[in-house]
Structure 1
């Protein structure tokens, strides 16, 4: 916008108007004046130092406003970015927390299930332990009840053996007589009575038969068991056999290689083992006599020593 001339404004310049009635020279001069005014006006429009200051101020003000606007935008952008990041982080954290809660919940459920299984196993184990404890107490009670029986077992075995030996008091055992398929034991017994000079009446004999050995692996002939009607008859027969020493199988008219024949009391298997142990111990300790009388094992070290009986295995220790 063109500023008014200060001279004109102050009324220093006359007002000139274009009059058509003026001569051409005046109009031309007027035009020249106007042109001069215009030229002067153009010259006055060049900015002075004061205008430069205004422009700088305006530029500074504009730059400040721009800076303020940019700072405002920057702040808004930072706030927006921070808000967005915060919102995103919150969302991510919430998602992760939800996953962690779900995972933790599954883990707790698994642990709970395992604890339930462990509890069931422990309960089963405790029940089994209680059952074992109960059975153990029952067994202990039974063992306590059987202690007396166990402690009495050797005595019971001795009593049974004594009863079995008592039942053999009428018997004689004839050992090492060769066996024949067509043998006649009654005839052999009669020949034996004739040889020992103690004739046998068959009315005095209850039975005569062979019995298997206690040791099944032995190859010796089975023993002949003769049962008499009385103990006296049995004892007389044994005494007569002891007096007739050196009895052999050929003296009984039994063919084949002659074998020594032995006549003894009929002992139980237990007493036979005990008699063998006594003889072995007596041999080691130089005892002179070990014999059987009425089913009892008797031991004597010398002719003048005291006689003692061996009825049980621990009695063998007496031979020392």
Structure 2
């Protein structure tokens, strides 16, 4: 609590009324100063607030301007990209149009190619017909050549050339025959052996070898089978072809049968009327015909010896002449030269 203020005494010479008036004036002045100060503070605050708001608006406006500028740049970039994309699309449309044009051109070329292929097929047909005609002409020419060969007016040169050709053909044929015959070097051909139901050919050839005093076991046999003849003859059984592993076994069987001077069904215990069985080298068809010609030539021309050894045909005119290996028809003539 504030201490009470001591009022001034009247003896000091001051009027009380005057004193009260002065105090009222001082209170008013103090109130005015206080209000003025409060107003000044308010104005300062408002000014500061306004300055701050201006600064904020200025900053915000700057940021917005910067963002707007960036947005405008982005919009411009997108616009440029759209323009570039539009240009690319236009270029693509142009390329597609060109591609369609090329496809149409290729289709047209394909149709033209099909037409050309049909024309070629037609040409090939014409060529085939022409070749057939040429073949017929060739046959006719061959017939004429044969006719010329028989003509006495053919020149000696042409006759010599024809003989050379015949010689070459004979040599080639002989080489082929030799190769075919070498493939049969281990074979034996058995003819005259009757055919039986459920026959065991391996057992039959083992019995045949036993008769020739040769021990033959199934392991020595490569294969054995009957073969179809080129011409069927009633009552004649199919021949048997036997292939052995070793040539010495084949040679021993042939030598043993020759030593026995023949073989029949009775010798190998086959029931029924005895029938002659023949065991020979397995010759090719051509060599069989050649061997037949050799025997006929020997009979007509007085050749003393004709035989087969190791699938080769030999002839010998007499005891004083040399043996000759016969490979073709020309060799037969050489025996008497």
**TM-score using structure 2 length:** 0.49
- Alpha-carbon spacing, 1:150–1:315, altered in 2? closer, same or farther (3 Å): closer
The separation in 2 between residues aligned to 1:303 and 1:220, in whole angstroms, is 37
Counterpart position of 2:232: 216
- Render the CA deviation track for 1:81-117: whole Å, top value 9, x for unaligned: xxxxxxxxxxxxxxxxxxxxxxxxxxxxxxxxxxxxx
Residue matched to 1:293: 309
Mapping for residues 114-153 of structure 1, pairs under 5 Å: 152-153=168-169
Distance between the aligned counterparts of 2:243 and 2:255, measured in 1?
Answer: 16
Shift of 1:218: 6.1
Q: State the partner residue of 2:250.
A: 234
Distance in 2, matches of 1:215 and 1:319, equals: 32
Q: How much has 1:182 moved relative to structure 2?
A: 2.3
Aligned equivalent of 2:327: 311
Q: In structure 1, how many angstroms separate the alpha carbons of the residues matched to 2:282 and 2:289? A: 13
Q: Structure 2: state its 5+ residue gaps.
A: 1-129, 143-161
**In structure 1, C-alpha distance between the alignment counterparts of 2:217 and 2:312, rounded to whole Å:** 28
How does 1:73-222 map onto structure 2 within 5 Å? 152-217=168-233, 219-222=235-238
| In structure 1, C-alpha distance between the alignment counterparts of 2:230 and 2:302, rounded to whole Å | 28
Q: Give the structure with higher Rg (CA).
A: 1
| Alpha-carbon separation, structure 1, partners of 2:295 and 2:231 | 19
Q: What's 1:56 paired with?
A: none
Deviation of 1:286 (Å)? 2.4
- Residue 57 of structure 2 corresponds to none
How many residues end up aligned between the 2 structures? 184
Q: Distance in 2 between matches of 1:315 and 1:218?
A: 35
How far residue 195 of structure 1 moved from its aligned partner, in angstroms, is 1.0
Q: Which moved more, 1:262-271 or 1:155-164?
A: 155-164
The CA distance in 1 between the partners of 2:210 and 2:227, in whole Å, is 24
Deviation at 1:149? 8.6
Deviation at 1:217, TM superposition (A): 4.1
Q: Output the aligned Cα RMSD.
A: 3.1
Q: Distance in 2 between matches of 1:194 and 1:233?
A: 12
Deviations 1:192-230 (A, max 9, x none): 111111121211110111112233346421111110112
Unaligned segments of structure 1, at least 5 residues: 1-130
Q: Are residues 221 and 203 of structure 1, via their aligned partners in 2, closer, same or farther at CA, if it must alter by over 3 Å?
A: same
CA distance in 2, matches of 1:150, 1:298: 23
- Would you say the 8 A contact 1:214–1:269 is kept in 2? no
* Structure 2 counterpart of 1:262, from 278, 300, 312: 278
Q: Distance in 1 between matches of 2:307 and 2:170?
A: 24
| Shift in alpha-carbon separation, 1:217–1:157, aligned structure 2, 3 A | farther
Indicate which of 237, 253, 262 corresponds to 1:246.
262
Retained in 2: the 8 A contact 1:281–1:319? no
Q: Distance in 1 between matches of 2:281 and 2:254?
A: 8
What secondary structure does 1:292 align onto?
Answer: strand
